[in-house]
A and B are shown apart, each in its own frame.
Chain A
Amino acid sequence: MLQRRHILAAPASLLATPAVAQARPFRIMMLLTRGWEEACDGFRDHFAARRIPVELIVRDIATDMRLVPGLVQEVRQVRPDLVYVWGTGLAVAALGPWDAVDPSKHITGVPVVFNIVTDPVGNRLIRSNIDPGRPVTGTEYIASVEVQMRAMARYRPFTRVATIFNPNESNSRSVVAQARALLGDNLLELPVALNAARQPDPDSIPAALMRARQADVDWLYIPPDTFLNNHRALLTREALVLRLPIFAATERFVLFADGLAGLVSRYYSVGAFTGYKAAQILRDGRAPESIPVETLTRMSYLIRMESARQLHFYPPVGLLRTAETV
């Protein structure tokens, strides 16, 4: 799927000073995992709001990782001013490890910003958040697992938690590993079963949830997971039926499904923050390796009240002062 979006929001006379000298719009190649969504809106709007002319060349692999080598090849031919990469799996495939880049397989010679990526250090995309170690920077969008567990306990204290995840996704595995380190035996891990093609089977989700119900867990925690996101309606509905309260690490399980709560970065805000880092590279001329990878300082505590009513699992009054109800 190929798209080309031009953002030429303002005439040259209205551009900010550095942009006045800009001979042509900045060309940004956007590599997306599962189509255009809120984070991409935030990224685009950051440039529009600041009247920075950009030409967006959008490429979507629709979760098909086999398309990645072709994209890398295209990047090499087009030579855009910047590459935007959405998603952990795509970033790992297109960029490779920071200390073992293969120019024949990975993107090189172009500044890169990544967005909606989980644990970029653990996934070896960068050396460290402060010092990426390569011309790649970006944003994180997940609060640390410890902060998420505390947020969950603020809604209702717990002793046992179950977590369901796609064992094929490095981002999910990374977060589950952190949760395991924190909760130990009190974490019930429910990997989605793989079919003969070693792909996660959505039909196995209800059985996994039933195991959680039988284990009498207090919460069902959903890590950042593209597969589960694609099947979030089934997952959250089934959890409601089994009276399992869901706490999610990303917004879509609560905003666009029946998940109960979550401590999340709003995708739109994370996208805009990534746009800010891209503008530092394009407009201000900063080297990407000198820009630290950061997360938003403000997270949103989302609560879906309809799910709370169905579960009779109401949030404490104090939480309602700060939480965003949907």
Chain B
Amino acid sequence: MMPERHLIARVVVVAVLLLTMAVAFVSHSALRSFEVELRPELEREASVVGGIGARTLQRAVELGVPFRGLSGLDEYLASLLTAQQGLSYVLLADAEGQRIASAGDGAASFSGLPAGTVPPERGGAVMRQLGGSYDAALPILEDGRIVGWMHVGISRERLDTVLNDTRWDVLIVLLVVLLATSEFLRFSLFRTVSAPVELVSRLQARLAAGDWTLRAQDNIVSEAGRVVRHLNVLVRRMNDRFDRLRWMATQTGAPSRAATVLDGVRQRLRFGVTAVQDGLGTGAASGRLPLFLFVFAEQLSTSFNPIYALELAGGQGGIIGAALPIVAFVAAVALFTPFGGSVVARRGPRDAMLIGLVPAALGHIGAALATDLTTFAIARGICGAGYAIVTIACQVHLAQEAPKGRVARSLGGFTAAVMTGAVCGTAIGAVLADRVGFRVTLTFSMVLVVLTTLLVLRNFVAGGGSEQKPMGLWRSARAAFSEPRFALLVLFAAIPAKVLLGGFIFFLAPLELRELGLSQAAIGRNIMLYGLCMLPAIVVGAWLTDRTGRGGLIIALAGVINGFALLLPLWLDRDMALPIAIIGTGLAQGLAAAPMLAIIPGLSLVRGAPNSAAMLSFLRLGERFGSVIGPPAAAALLALGSGQQTMLALGVISLATAIGYALSLAVQARRPGGAA
């Protein structure tokens, strides 16, 4: 790692740590205040329910029914218990605190109020904490004296559940803030520190090598910018002095001798200020922020797309109507991915991104203005076309800008930025839609796409198109898939990975978790484990690939891990096996993400293979195919057997394809000139 990368990493870590501590402190304080606020609310609720229950009993006594002659108490208390959620018990005790009748599980550990307990002077309930419940006791009076107490217990578990949910919400917001902050910091530090320092290093190296011909971009606003400007002045002065020497040589009495000396100098040093200046370049890191922003914008609507579709259909669309915009988006992404690849190959990543951002922006604004389901589905399809072009352009950009020996880590950045954007966008989109509505959120997506366009215009360097003559889509596909390493990668790694993602993470796991009785929020948190585990795994997978150069092996290993994770129901209970399988899938898919992409640039160099943009687009197409067939495949398996059997079947598929891929690697390695 170069020194400036160390610097960026340290700054990001320190900033994130400080931010974490600050947000954690604020969150902790907020949670404590929340508890302080919530407890009286629960006590009030217990008191109100107790009041309602006691009023009927009091009325009965006042109507002449003796307290000891009250009948139908069990039925009455049970009706009170079921009328209000969250009550742990409803109980009637006599003046000595002895239980007369009760309903609810929480009554088992009940102990009555001591004889002689006096109710509050202002009326209301006697409040106390009793075991795991808040107990509100209201007196029943007969002839002015207390003859009994009506007790209502509200379980503390409810408070704990609310607090727990809130803690998770705070944690998710914290995570989103941290991920977004690290993306912005990474970009900002690259533009203001890392890239200028690299520019200075490049200039120093050239000067040290005797090249005094080039000047650097001098509008950089930072300390490094000042150094750059000093170096520019130095270069100009040296060139001026050399010109002066040349002039002086012509004025001396021994011009031939002077010319010989100057020739000697010219052989060691090169002078002359050219028109071309060295700039900051685009850099891999600066490609991540536009990608992050773009994916963030796209994912803002993920949480409400089906609901918005149903709303536009006026309740007439049904499930098909709700799914139509999603299908249009996925289909457009699949159709336009190869097209995106050819645009990138012809025009370079910058132009391709700018081309792709136009339909994306139009799609978002079209979705915001849609008045019916069809228009909305078309708008989402247009978004999908833009998404296909932009993402493939970003992948190619990262591959091109990857420093030597860091291809996997650079491409891993692509998956990481997409995942980060997806996690942040989905979470924030739901909150935004809740507050400002669907249409404004979609308009905000469009604004973010415009911002992304400005970032690309400002920071991306034009060019980067392939010098190879374009082969045409069909020929490119044939050429790509006739390369066995590519075909095996797509068939045995890319497609199975996405089948598991779509089939297990997005389809089977939510259903199984719901079967376990988890709330929607808890299901969401469990599914989020996938993304959380994937992010660090991407970094590890990329690092291992760059370090060992055995990307293929890592992909196969990831498939095996994924397979074993899905076979866990063989050894563990479902409530344990499911979250661990989700974690395992996240880790495995994260590990394989970067090496899968990093293999492509090498394969594109093979004679007759299409350029890397085209190959990346076919890889993405394969992944899309896997994503599409995953859920119906899992559904079909589920229809044939249980959820656990479906998990096992998916696990076997993962293991089989991973072993198949590993064997194919071994076979290729034995061939002359083969490589793993």
Contact = CB atoms under 8 A, between A and B. Distances in A.
A and B held together in a complex: yes
Interface of A: 305-306, 308-309, 312, 314-321, 325
A317 B63 contact: no
Contacts of B69: 312, 314
19 contacts: A305-B63, A308-B64, A314-B60, A314-B65, A314-B69, A315-B65, A315-B71, A315-B72, A316-B72, A316-B73, A316-B75, A317-B60, A317-B73, A317-B76, A318-B72, A318-B75, A318-B79, A321-B76, A325-B63
A320 B56 CA distance: 7
Interface residues of B, number: 16
Interface in B265-315: none
Given A314-B69, A320-B65, 12 more contacts: A308-B64, A308-B65, A309-B64, A314-B71, A315-B72, A316-B71, A317-B56, A317-B57, A317-B60, A318-B79, A319-B72, A321-B76
Nearest to B65: A314
B118 interface: no
Contacts of A312: 69
B75 A305 contact: no
Contacts of A316: 71-73, 75-76
Contacts of B71: 314-317
A320 B75 CA distance: 13
A321 B72 CA distance: 12
Nearest to B80: A318
A318 B53 CA distance: 10
B151 to A, nearest CB: 15
A317 B64 contact: no
A309 B60 CA distance: 12
B59 interface: yes
A306 B79 CA distance: 27
B254 to A, nearest CB: 124
Contacts of B57: 317
B2 interface: no
B56 A321 contact: yes
A90 B70 CA distance: 45
A294 B79 CA distance: 32
Nearest to A309: B64
B444 to A, nearest CB: 51
A102 B437 CA distance: 72
Interface string B43-77: 00000000000001101100111100111110110
B143 to A, nearest CB: 15
Contacts of B72: 315-319
A317 B76 CA distance: 7
Contacts of B70: 314, 317
A135 to B, nearest CB: 45
Specify the main secondary structure of chain B where it touches its partner.
helix
Contacts of B66: 314
Nearest to A319: B72
Contacts of B75: 316, 318
A-B pairs, top 6 by smallest CB distance, nearest first, are A316-B72, A318-B76, A317-B76, A314-B65, A316-B71, A305-B63
A314 B72 CA distance: 10
Contacts of B63: 305, 320, 325
A319 B72 CA distance: 9
A319 B60 CA distance: 10
Contacts of B59: 320
A309 B69 CA distance: 11
A91 B75 CA distance: 44
Contacts of B73: 316-317
Nearest to A306: B64
A321 B57 CA distance: 9
B402 to A, nearest CB: 75
A314 B66 CA distance: 9
A312 B64 CA distance: 10
A254 to B, nearest CB: 15
B292 to A, nearest CB: 60
A325 B63 CA distance: 8
Nearest to B64: A309
A306 B64 CA distance: 8
A308 B64 CA distance: 9
Contacts of A309: 64
A226 to B, nearest CB: 31
A306 B73 CA distance: 21
Interface string B75-91: 11001000000000000
A319 B56 CA distance: 10
B191 to A, nearest CB: 72
Contacts of A314: 60, 65-66, 69-71
A293 B73 CA distance: 40
A48 to B, nearest CB: 35
A305 B64 contact: yes
Interface in B489-545: none
B425 to A, nearest CB: 52
A320 B59 CA distance: 8
A319 to B, nearest CB: 7
A100 B431 CA distance: 73
B621 to A, nearest CB: 64
B64 to A, nearest CB: 5
A316 B65 CA distance: 10
Nearest to A318: B76
A321 B65 CA distance: 14
A321 B75 CA distance: 12
Interface centre among B57, B70, B71 (most CB of A within 10 A): B71
A312 B57 CA distance: 17
Nearest to B69: A314
A6 B60 CA distance: 45
Interface string B359-402: 00000000000000000000000000000000000000000000
A321 to B, nearest CB: 5
B58 to A, nearest CB: 10
Nearest to B75: A318
Contacts of A317: 56-57, 60, 70-73, 76
A309 B79 CA distance: 26
Nearest to A317: B76
Interface in B116-147: none
A305 B56 CA distance: 15
Nearest to A154: B72
A317 B62 CA distance: 12
A321 B71 CA distance: 13
A319 B71 CA distance: 10
A320 B64 contact: no
A320 B76 CA distance: 10
Contacts of A315: 60, 65, 71-72
A258 to B, nearest CB: 15
A284 B66 CA distance: 54
Nearest to A303: B63
Contacts of A306: 64
B612 to A, nearest CB: 76
A319 B76 CA distance: 9
Contacts of B56: 317-318, 320-321
A242 B16 CA distance: 87
A110 B73 CA distance: 55
A69 to B, nearest CB: 50
Nearest to B56: A321
Contacts of A320: 56, 59-60, 63, 65
A257 to B, nearest CB: 19
Contacts of A308: 64-65
Contacts of B60: 314-315, 317, 320
Nearest to B59: A320
Contacts of A318: 56, 72, 75-76, 79
A250 to B, nearest CB: 23
Contacts of B76: 316-318, 321
A312 B71 CA distance: 12
A318 B83 CA distance: 13
A319 B63 CA distance: 13
A152 to B, nearest CB: 14
B217 to A, nearest CB: 83
A324 to B, nearest CB: 12
